[in-house]
Structure 1
Amino acid sequence: MSVETATLEGLGRELGKKIADSPEHEAFVEANEAVENDAEAQEMIREFEELRHEFMVDREAGRADRESMREVQEAQRKLHNLPVMEEYLDAQEALQERLEAVNMAISEELAVDFGGEAGGCCQD
């Protein structure tokens, strides 16, 4: 491994640590733990995932209807209205915004949208 590669990887680890120590990441981790430890939220997540799975299976088989789609949307609305989930979603959004800002800063130096271009080579 060259010295330059080691330095770049070291900078990457340092950036990862700085992101992990950011208020946005810390808030996200705390909100995630709160959701994981909330029995009501976990039950509603399970119900939502079950409804969504059933809808996807029905859609693939051509049996999905508007009523089943409304049931999925209503379960999602109820889930997202739980205070613990609202906090989680807000924290997730704040972290995503921070990561997008970091991505833009890196991309400006590379003259390419690093996050958007990763894995996008040579596709039709």
Structure 2
Amino acid sequence: MSTSVSQLEELGTELGEAIAETPAYERFEEAKEAVQNDPDAQEGIAEVERLRDEFMAARDSGQATQEHVEKLQRAQNDLHSMPVMAEYLNAQEALQSQLEAVNRAISAPLAVDFGGEAGGCCHD
């Protein structure tokens, strides 16, 4: 029995919808929304991005110092220690773990890692 592309797409849509209804995905979405609505978290994210840009510019010009790295690491640690951000990171990790399990289940009957290599080009 042959499976058509449209049948595969339909199964993919059903899989996506089923994933969206899991507790791990719902927790992730709630945590993401909480971060987006938290002014302190948004300020922390902006600071990390600013320091990352500053570090990248300094690195590209050959002027990066250990102080740049330490400032960025401190800002990231401060951000990640915020309860709302810690919950987001934990929820993201749980969802990622669930999606990796789904990837393994899809990849099992195939001769390729569906999520990791199926869409890529040649690997040396």
Bin of the TM-score, shorter chain as denominator length? over 0.9
Counterpart of 2:120? 120
Provide Cα deviations, 1:85-122, integer angstroms capped at 9, x if missing partner. Answer: 00000000000000000000001011211111133323
| Structure 1 position 69, deviation (Å) | 0.4
Aligned length: 123
Counterpart of 2:55? 55
| Structure 1 position 77, deviation (Å) | 0.1
Separation in structure 1 between the aligned mates of residue 55 and residue 118 of structure 2, nearest angstrom: 32
Residue identity matched to 1:120: G
Separation in structure 1 between the aligned mates of residue 48 and residue 117 of structure 2, nearest angstrom: 33
Runs of 4+ more than 4 Å apart: none
Structure 2: where are the runs of 5+ without partners? none
Residue identity matched to 2:94: A
3-state SS of paired residue (1:116): coil
Counterpart of 1:21? 21
| Structure 1 position 3, deviation (Å) | 6.8
Structure 1: where are the runs of 5+ without partners? none
| Structure 1 position 123, deviation (Å) | 4.8
Counterpart of 1:32? 32
Counterpart of 1:102? 102
Provide Cα deviations, 1:12-66, integer angstroms capped at 9, x if missing partner. Answer: 0000000111111100000000000000000111011000110011001100000
Identical pairs, percent: 60
Counterpart of 1:74? 74
TM-score by length of 1: 0.94
Inter-CA distance 3–98: structure 2 relative to 1 (3 Å threshold): closer
User: Which structure's residues are more often helix, by fraction?
Assistant: 1
